[in-house]
Structure formats: C-alpha cells, structure tokens
Chains A and B, each alone.
Chain A
Amino acid sequence: MSVSEADYQVPRLDFELSSGCDHRCGHCYNVWNASPGDPQHGYKPGRPLSTSGLKALMEKAVRQSGANYLCLTGGEPLLRADALELVRHACALVPTVQLITNGSHVPMETARALKEAGLRQVQLTLLAGNRELHDRLKGATCFDDTLRAALNLKEAGVSVQVCFVAMHANAGELSPVMELCCALGVRSLSYNRMSPTGGAVHEVEALMPSVEEIEADLEVLERLGPRFGIRVGTAMPLLPCLFSLDRYPHIQFGFCSTGTTSPNVVIDPAGNLRSCNLSSKVMGSLVHSDWAELMQSPYPREFKANIPDICRGCAYEHSCQGGCKESAFAVYGDHRHPEPLLARSLAG
C-alpha cells in the first residue's frame, strides 16, 4: 500500500524528553506511573534515546509530520543533562517551541539560556495561591522555585503560561492563582480539570473535582481573565452536557483531538508514538518506522468512534466524543465507559 506523508500532516508534536520527575503530584497523568492491576499498567517508556538519537528523531518527526510546533515535556524535561541542547535543536527545527517544566530547575542562567535558544513559551504549574497547599499537592517543596522561575523567565524575555489543574483539593484556589499570575505578569493560563490516568487513578476519590467546583472556577476565569488580561484555554475537555460553555466567551474550550486532523500526538523518550500523553497505547516506534506508517494505526480511528452509549445521538457526539476517554479507560478499563467526570456527575 502506498503511503502518502501528506495525508498525515499534523501541526503539533509533543516530545516527552524524560519519564523521570522530582515532584510527586497526585494528579500526574503520566501513564508509566500506572500500578499493576491498573488498566494502563504495562506501558514502559523504554530506554531513553541518546542526545544524538533524540535530535535525529526530532528531525525525522518534523520532516515527516509537517509539524511546526513542538512541545517538550516529560516527566521533567530539564532533568536531562542535554535538555538545553535539545531545546536549542527543537527551536532550530520549528518556529514555535513550548517547554513544560515543573519549575524547580529554572534559575536565571537557565532562563537566559532558554531565551537564547529561541524558546517561545514555558508552562509552569501553579496549583494554589499559597505555598503550603501548592507544595502539598505537588509532593515537593517547589512553590517558591516556581515563582522564581516565572520571574526569571519574564526577566529573560520568555513568555510564561501557567497551568492550573483543577482538583477537589484546590477548589477555590483559582482566584489567588489568577491574582498571582497577574502579579507575575503571566498573560496565559491553561485551565485543566484533573483527568485521571497513570497513577492518578488511585486519587480519584480524593482529588477529582466536582462539576460544581469546576463551574465555580469557570466563573472566576470569566470574571478575572479579562480584568487581568490573561488569556484562558482548556486542554482537558469540559463536556457540554455538564457545562454551559456559552456562558464563558472568554475561555477557549478544547475537546479531545485524537482522531482529528489536529491530534496531540506524543513521542516518548524511547521514540514510541502514542495518540496523546494520557494514552498508554503505543502506535509504534518512530525510530523503526516512518510517520505515515504509524499514523495508519487503527487506534485513533477506533478510539474516536468508541464513545459511550449515553453519548450516541447527543448533539455533541462528534465534537465532544464523550470527554476524556483515555481517563475512562484508565479508571474503568473501557473507553466506552462514561469518563470519570461524567460518570461521577451522573451518579450524583
């Protein structure tokens, strides 16, 4: 069968540079943290590629996928000794590169180096407006580091985006975080309600936010976003059957992109390709196969079609597709099960 690369062009690629991380977030979605017995257990990121191997893979990926936006993530990418070299390489390949880091490894010199490398944006995570709660949720002493990282990056001239993961444990903390963002000069916020995959499936009862808590956050975003000049987007899907998205014109809502023309394909440290960073399904190795060949995997197509019965016939069946189905698989072992946020809401 002839495979045309043009049929599988994507705008964006995520590289997981490292599976290791020095924070212990309860909500962490990394699929390699799944425990024995968990539906996602068994995924292994494999031996990380060498610097040259990873650089070569980046080149191949960009060339074959047509991506012009790279997101470097982890684990914690800055734990790699060659991290700055890889950032520089990525920046040389595409116009836009974003780095997602836990904020503990961005001293001033790193910030300047990232700027010099040509990095466009760094995403830091702030889970609360106070040190105690943030550090507790992160499982590390890192609140001050994160603020320092934001200030360093701003001073170095690198744009900062703050990621807020909405959980039951930090309900009500969005306002202080927004105020902090304003003070730090942050102009972009990614609001992500917890989507439990990986080891986070064991924290659902303790951490999963309720629909009402998320709704309260959305009100905050709609109120404070324009006032503080902070753009707001969501990466984790918010289901229109639970939320009246029309009420929040300031927020850019995103749905699951798997199976669409703009998927959030992720490549792990060993070069394995997955449909998104919450998925434990390996579609193949980009080291050994070509992009177009891997993209013929039936997985994204089947995943897209595999929606919960309750969503069939719904007005948003084809756009929402049932929310975050990878979290449905991670928690219930079935993509067709209503995902945790929906299931918990329906159960009252």
Chain B
Amino acid sequence: MNAPSVLLLSPGVIRWSDQDFGLPHLVAMGTVLQKELGLKVHILDLGYEGSDHRALAQTLEALSPFLFIGLSTYSSFDYRRCLSVGRFLKQLYPDTPLVTGGYHASALPGDLDFDGSPFDVVVQGEGELPILKVARALLGGERPQRRYATELIQDLDELPLLDWSLLDRYWPRAHALGRKLQITLSRGCPYHCTFCMERAKTGYQWRAFSPTRAVAELENLARHTDLGAWVVNIADPLFGFVRRWRKEVLDGILKAGLVPRQFWTLTRSDDLDEDDVQMLAKARFSIGIGLESGSPAMLKIMQKGNHPDAYLGAILRLAELSRRHGLSWAANIIVGHPGETPETMWETRNFLEALYLSAPETCGWLSVDPFRLYPGAQVHQQMEDWEQRYGSRFYHKEWWKSWYDGPFQAQHLDPSRELSYEDRVRFYHDAYGPLMAEVQQRFRGQGRNIDRVFERSLAEQRANLDAGQRDRMIALGRRIQTAGSTLEPGRPLGLQVRDTRVRRREQAVARMLENGLLRTEGVLEALLEVEPSAFMPEEVAEALLADRPVPVPEGEAPWGPGLSVLVRVLEGLALGAGERAADLSARSGYVAALFAELVGPGGQVLALAPGTEVEDLAESLRAWPQVRVEGRQPEQSWSISGTFDGLYLGAALPKMLPLFRRALRPEGRGYFFVGPRFRSQDLLCVTGEGEQRLGRFSVGVLGGAGGWVPARSSTGMAPRLSFSCWPGVEAGFRVFWGVDLGVDAATQWEPGQELPPWAGELAAAWKAAPGRLSLLAEILRYREVGSLRAALESPPGPLRDDAGRALVRVFLGALKEEGAEMPELPGQLARDLEQLRGLLYRERQPPPLRVLHVPALGRRGRAMQVGEERRVAVSLLEKREHIVMQVLHEEVHPLTDPLVEGPQGDTRKDSPGWSLHHEREQLAVAATEAFLLQKAPGWIGPFREWVEQIG
C-alpha cells in the first residue's frame, strides 16, 4: 500500500471557452506540503479531467490512499457543485478528512460548515498555513480544527518556489486546456471597492514576492513551459500597488528576457506615468483597469477613491499614452451597481465614448459587465443598507444555493428606486452594443497574432450584448423563481465532464431541481444515467432536455413531451424496484429505459412500439434486459396483456380509454394526456380511486386506434429518408480503415494509408474466418459502440467458429469509443435521393432508407436490410453527386441481386463468393446505368464518374 498522499482538487471553471491553465493557488499549497512535510501531493482539476463520476472514482482509486483531500470552493458559482462533489468524495472516502477553502469558503464559511456537511475542515483566507496545520495534526494523530480563520503570510518570500511539476499530469495538453497561463506574484488589495470579494480572502493588505523573487518565479515557470507560446496571466488582485516594486519587476522581466506572447494583469491607471506605460509596453504587457464607472457619483458610491475627477482623468491620460507607446489596455465597466440610476448610466456611457472614440484609433478595448452580487463583498454584507439608502432590491440574496441560472440570479436586482432590473438590462444591451462595435472598429492592436485574442474578446462582448440575449435576460427576470427542490443528488453534479451530452443532462437535471419538479433520488439518477440521444436524433434529444419538444406530423407517434412534463410523470408514477411499468407509445425507447432504471433489474417494462421499429427499439434497449419490446400496429385495436403498476402514454388522446384503466393493478398509477387536438391537453393521473387533472401541457396527438387522427403511413414512424451519424457504425468501420485485406470487396484500404497497429493481425484474422462478412453486417446493425461490443460478445452464427471468434477478438480489441460528427448536408442531397428513389420504385412507396454517415468508408458504401429499413453507409463528406450515385447503387442491389443466385460467403478474389459478388456488382452497375439512361439521363455523367472512381 502506498503512503497516504494529499489530494488537492479544483472544481474547474464553468466557462469552457476561456479558461486559464495553472491553478497557482493549489500549486502553492501543494508545494508547501511537499517541501515542509515531505508529503506526496496530487492535483486534479475536474475541468481538465472531464470525466464522469465513475472514471473519476477510478482515477482517485489509483491515487489513494489520502491523508486528506482538499477541494477548493473557489468561487460562489461553484458552491453547489462543490457541495455535490464533496458528498461524492465523502461517500468514496468516508474516513478521509475533507478540507475546503477558497473565496466562497472565506466569505461564508457557514455555507460549508454545517450539520450534515461533507466537509470536515473549512479554511478561510489563504491556504498555505492552515493546510500545513491540518496536515501536521493528521500526521500527529490529532483531529484538525473544524475551521481555520484567515491567517495572512506577511513575507511571501518565505514560501518555497512554486513546484509546477505538480501539474505534470496536465502539462502535455496544457494549451488545449487553457488560453492563458496563470501565476500570481502578489496578494491582496488595499482598496475598498464595494462590489469586490477579494477582501473576504485576503483582507486589505497588499503583499508581494520581492521583485527578485517575483522574477525568479517567472523564470521558474519558464523552465516548465515555453512562455513564448503563452499569454501569461499575472492574476494578482492588484498588480503593482507599490510603484517601485512594479518598476523593479518589469525591469527584471526585461533583463531576464522573459518574453511570452503577452503578459496580462489587472492594475490601476491613476499611478501610471509615461515611463510606466512605456515599460509595460516594452515588457509585452496588456493591462486591465477596473474603471467600473465614468460617473463621479457612482465612483464615490463604489468607493473607488475620493477623487473621482482625478481618477477619470488618469484613464484619459492612459488612453493617450497608450497610443503613443503601443500599450494595449482594457477598461472594465460595471453597469447597474446598487445606487446606479439612468443618469449615472448615461454619464458612464458618454464618458466611455469620449475615452474610446475621441481619437481615430484606440489601444484600449472595453469590457462591460452587469453588477453581480458576490458573497463577501461590501454590498453583499450590507444589503439592507443598500436597500434602504438607494431602494435597491436584491431578488436572489443567496443565489449560489440555486441549482440553476446562477449567473443570471447574481445580476438579478433593481439597482435603485430609479432603475429597475429590466431598464438596466435594456440599457446594458442597447447602449453598449453599438459602442462596442465602434470600439472594435477603432481598436489598433499591436500588429501581432496576439491581436486575435483582443478581437475575440471584443467579439464575445458584442455577442453578449445582442438583442436576443437582452430579451432572454428580461424574460428570466419576469419568471419569479419558485422554491427549488431540497433533494441532494447522491452523485456529483458538475464534474465538468468533457462529454457535452453528459453536461447537457446535468444541466437539465439542475433545472429540474431548481424548479422543484425533481424530488426523488431514483428519478434523478435515471435522468443522469440514460442519454436520450441514444434513442432519438441528437437535435430531438437536445430539444427534449431543453423542454422544447419537437413536433412531428400528425399521426406519427410523438417523441413525447419536454423534460419538465416527463419529470412530473416520472415523479407521479413513483415506480419502485420490482414493479411493472409500460410505455404505451414507445417511439424512441427513452422512457422505457428510464422506467427500466426505476424498476431495476427485478422489475419489468413493456415498451409498445408503434409501427415497425420493433427491432431498432429492442436494439436500443438491449442494455436493459428487463424491457420487453412489443410491436403494435397503430390502426389495430388496443390490447394490453397483463396489469401494471405504472402506465404512461406520451401522446394525447381525445378521450380516456377504459382499457387503460383495466390494465392498472389495484395500486397502479397511469399518466395520460387527454384533450384537444390543437391545444394543450390535461395530464390525467388515473388510479383506482379516480382521475385527477394535473395541469395542461401540449403534446402531440395519438394516431390510430383510440387516437385523434389516423396513424400516419402504414410503415409506421420511419421516415422514407433519414440521415444519421451512428458512433457504433463509424467506430466499426474505422477499425478497417487502412487495413489491407488483399483483393477483397470488403477492403477499405488504399495505397498510402497509414497502417493502424492492429492492421496485420486483423487482416490475417479476416482472411482466416469464413464467416467474416457477418461482421460487417453486425457493424451496420448497432447505433452505439457499446451495443456493438455487447452484441459481438455473443457473435452471430457464422462467427462462432474459432476463426470467427478470433476475428471478433481482434476487432473488439481495436474498437474505440469514437464517433464522427454529422456534417451540414445540402438540402439538394435529400431532394436528389428522393427523386431517384421515386423513379426507381415507380408506383411503389420506396422502403424507409437510413443513410449512415461513415467517414471511414471513404468513397465506398456498405448496405443491408434491417427489418423494413434499408441502411446504406457512406461518407457524407464526399461530393454530393458521388454520394447520390453510391446510395443509388446500393438501392439497386436488392432489386438485382436476387437475379444472381447463390450464397455469398466469401468476397476474396478468386473465391466463389468473389465471382458471385462480382457478377452481382456488374449487374447492379449495368442496371443502374440503364435506369439512369431511361429515367434520369441528367445523372449519367455523375454515374460514369462514380464508376471510374470505384473501379
């Protein structure tokens, strides 16, 4: 067993597009623990990890045991996530002390130190000294204190040089993880700005490394990474409060030749003279100035200083000096600080116009933010005073305890009697949008590639200021939040999982918690566990989770209501372990999978599939053996065998059918939508005691027997033509990419391709296995990689001999969890295919065709029949004409193949299968040509080009 180490965890920042790499606060603590106590320290950032809770548990297991675990509740935006992650860690390591600190912990330690909190120790203020005390106590066999009060380090030079090797886990992909590299050279800020939370952590005392040490820290960092490739963010609350210090540090940087792409830091403009500006520019600095307002009255309210006119004069001077010396700078503005009025907002807006637009060009760019209520800031601590003095109204005084919409709630306030939230939002967007555009046009930049960073920042600001965003913020403000759920998830939310689908699910669940709909652990777990896009097109799944149900043509089985309605149903059904439940209109299988999660392995779920998609549905639900899929022709009368504890039909009925009542067990619960065809319907809860209307919701209507309208099309729900991108199929064919199978119709090899490591072994196994073609058929069958893998664990008949199993083994060894992304498809592609298929099938309705996007096939195509559906796999990255011809060719095959009799077992050259295949190919090609000549001569050119390409 390893000696216990210390694990320091960062929750990662929420924003993904503009995060820093570095975690200097954790590196500093880790360094101290290593140097002072010789402890082994691991640093993990959940954002950098991007893994789900299972993978995280595995990672931790490999690093354990731990003397203690530190989790940084750095920002109030992370509060809920940290609590959730903390509970998860406590579940995994109940005996390991869990320590937390950070800005939020410093401002409101009680939020983390309460009965039932997962945290054993809460550290306020800077972490190095308390964390040493915690470690010493534990090493000495003592219990650490419950709380450690702020204890500032007076001489930062006493701290050891930062050990950046603590981030070795991440250095290889550091540039992918962050745009900027973060380090701190000083701490604290002596100013008393009312909106700032810095005081909660470091008080008002400014302390810094000595200039020599500061430069040494940068040199030390440069030994770990090439600074020339980074924008280095010196993330000090106030860089260079002491002027001499700043000059010496800049001088040291220049002398040491530390030349990053750019240094970025926050400072003040009121003590910068021309020499300072010149020096900063020379050292490749860009500076951020917390200007905050252009209104003298507001500057006083914000406590930005006692001489606002001088303060504003300083930034005007900086604007001029910066043009002279080429120093890029940015001013941050806060709109809607408590006390703000329409007049002060205009004052600021007009000042900024003079600041940025009085000259033909500017070296400054602008960053405008709404006021946000931060715990620990003076405004937060004295909210009642602000309310009395200015008539401010704070709508979410503890917004960080909300599961959802924290960034909105933090800024949801009326700044004053004279200025409402809505007016502030309108002003923010309407007044600053045009100004931002003008600033962007005049921004001079430095003529280096670093300009792109500035331009991107300005462009992001402009995007934030658009009218759509304005309307969204106003709409959010009008929606008064109801009390959220008190449910605490048993698994961590907000692990910054890289998979966007997981994050989307988490966000949806957070919303359901926030609006109080989600009340039980089981439903929460099921929603987090089951990914809807495994059951329906990506855009439908996304819309369902976002509560924007996607309508379908009347008569088709609807995809079902949005998540908030579905959650009501799931909570109402209250399915328990071992119960029987049925989804009576299982178009996608998603609800059946949720039911299966809820009833557990001992329960039973019936999924009644409307139309002909039984096979597909069964395949999608393969992972839940407790689900039984039955087909149901929509026009046939209803028939339900057995009785159930829970029944659900996600489509609207004109009237409740007595049959459904009869299918309920005595204690059973049924949820149905009953009501108008064109307007919202009643959600009806049916039990043995009667019916209860639970509110009105809009869902699609049921087609067929007992429904509003006839079912649409006899083929059920499958559209005649669809395009899909299935990870399982792409991953399967990608295994064969670059594998030289010899002269074989199944080969995807082309000269010049880079061979994958498994190429030799796979080619040999392929050639040895007589049932090899079954493998290709299996690949086309499964949507998900997991399903394909699971299916091949019990291979189909032709692959059950030793050679077949060997082939499967090699194949599975090479199979990766990688999919492709659906490219944007030209509408003409679908129209071309519809037209040619219409001509090909003449009076008949063409069978449903699913075109699968498989880039790994290159110019080739693969096809098979699954139930009534024809599946053709091609790369949709090829030219449209090529795709159309390839799909048409695969469509001709089923019409012409029966004319060439014989089994198709082998496709290697000179085998009987090869000649059979060859003959069928030739016939299909000839028939296609004849068909095009007769019916669509305009396509004969692209056809002949296609023939030439495929040889």
Contact = CB atoms under 8 A, between A and B. Distances in A.
Interface in B708-762: 708-710
B907 to A, nearest CB: 49
Given A313-B709, A313-B710, A315-B708, A244 B678 contact: no
Interface stretch (A81-89, A173-181, A235-243, A297-305): A235-243
Given A314-B708, A315-B654, A316-B654, A345 B678 contact: yes
Interface stretch (B423-431, B640-648, B669-677): B669-677
A243 B682 CA distance: 11
A246 B708 CA distance: 15
Given A247-B693, A315-B654, A316-B654, A242 B678 contact: yes
B654 to A, nearest CB: 4
Contacts of B693: 247
Nearest to B703: A313
B211 interface: no
A247 B678 contact: no
A211 interface: yes
A313 B681 CA distance: 20
B85 to A, nearest CB: 46
Given A313-B710, A316-B654, A247 B682 contact: yes
Contacts, number: 41
B224 interface: no
A247 B655 CA distance: 11
Interface in B631-688: 654-655, 674-679, 681-682
A315 B704 CA distance: 10
B676 A241 contact: yes
B708 A242 contact: no
A335 B655 CA distance: 27
A211 B654 contact: no
B364 interface: no
B522 interface: no
A1 interface: no
Interface in B215-271: none
A183 interface: no
Given A246-B655, A316-B654, A240 B710 contact: no
A314 B709 contact: yes
Contacts of B654: 240, 315-316
A315 B707 contact: yes
Contacts of A243: 676, 679
B679 A242 contact: yes
A109 B303 CA distance: 86
B635 to A, nearest CB: 11
Contacts of A244: 674-676, 681-682
A238 to B, nearest CB: 10
Contacts of A314: 677, 708-709
A346 interface: yes
Interface centre among A211, A243, A314, A345 (most CB of B within 10 A): A314
Interface in A202-239: 211
Contacts of B677: 240-242, 314-315
Interface in A293-338: 313-316
Given A315-B708, A315-B709, A316-B654, A246 B674 contact: yes
B699 to A, nearest CB: 13
B346 to A, nearest CB: 39
Interface string A45-63: 0000000000000000000
Interface in B131-183: none
Which interface class (under 10, 10 to 19, 20 to 34, 35 or more) fits A?
A: 10 to 19
B911 to A, nearest CB: 55
A117 B141 CA distance: 108
B553 to A, nearest CB: 13
Nearest to A215: B679
Contacts of B679: 211, 241-243, 345
A243 B681 CA distance: 9
Nearest to B678: A241
A289 B681 CA distance: 49
A5 B707 CA distance: 40
A342 B681 CA distance: 17
Interface centre among B654, B693, B710 (most CB of A within 10 A): B654
A211 B678 CA distance: 11
B82 to A, nearest CB: 46
A211 B677 CA distance: 13
A244 B675 CA distance: 5
Interface string A242-266: 1110110000000000000000000
Contact of A240 (B676, B682, B707): B676
Contacts of A315: 654-655, 677, 707-709
Interface in A63-122: none
Contacts of B676: 240-244
Contacts of A346: 678
A259 B684 CA distance: 35
B685 to A, nearest CB: 15
Nearest to A212: B679
B706 to A, nearest CB: 8
Interface centre among A313, A316, A342, A346 (most CB of B within 10 A): A313
A104 to B, nearest CB: 39
Nearest to A342: B678
A316 B681 CA distance: 16
Contacts of B682: 244, 247
Contacts of B681: 244
A145 B869 CA distance: 73
Interface centre among A242, A246, A346 (most CB of B within 10 A): A246
A36 B427 CA distance: 54
Contacts of B709: 313-315
Contacts of A240: 654, 676-677
A246 B675 CA distance: 8
A241 B675 CA distance: 8
Interface in B691-706: 693
Nearest to B684: A246
Interface centre among B678, B707, B708 (most CB of A within 10 A): B678
Nearest to A211: B679
A162 B375 CA distance: 64
Contacts of A242: 676-679
B409 to A, nearest CB: 32
Contacts of A345: 678-679
Contacts of A316: 654
A346 to B, nearest CB: 6
Nearest to B711: A313
A32 to B, nearest CB: 34
A240 B678 CA distance: 9
A241 B679 CA distance: 7
Interface in B530-553: none
Contacts of A241: 676-679, 708
Interface string B490-527: 00000000000000000000000000000000000000
A310 to B, nearest CB: 9
Nearest to B679: A242
Contacts of A342: 678
Interface centre among B677, B707, B708 (most CB of A within 10 A): B677
A210 to B, nearest CB: 11
A83 to B, nearest CB: 43
A192 B674 CA distance: 25
Nearest to A317: B709
B826 to A, nearest CB: 31
The 7 A-B residue pairs whose C-beta atoms are closest, nearest first, are A241-B677, A244-B675, A315-B654, A313-B710, A313-B709, A241-B678, A315-B708
Given A241-B679, A243-B676, A314-B677, 13 more contacts: A241-B678, A242-B677, A242-B678, A242-B679, A244-B674, A246-B655, A246-B675, A247-B682, A247-B693, A314-B708, A315-B708, A316-B654, A345-B678
Interface of A: 211, 240-244, 246-247, 313-316, 342, 345-346
12 contacts: A240-B654, A241-B676, A241-B708, A243-B676, A244-B681, A244-B682, A246-B655, A313-B709, A314-B709, A315-B655, A315-B709, A345-B678
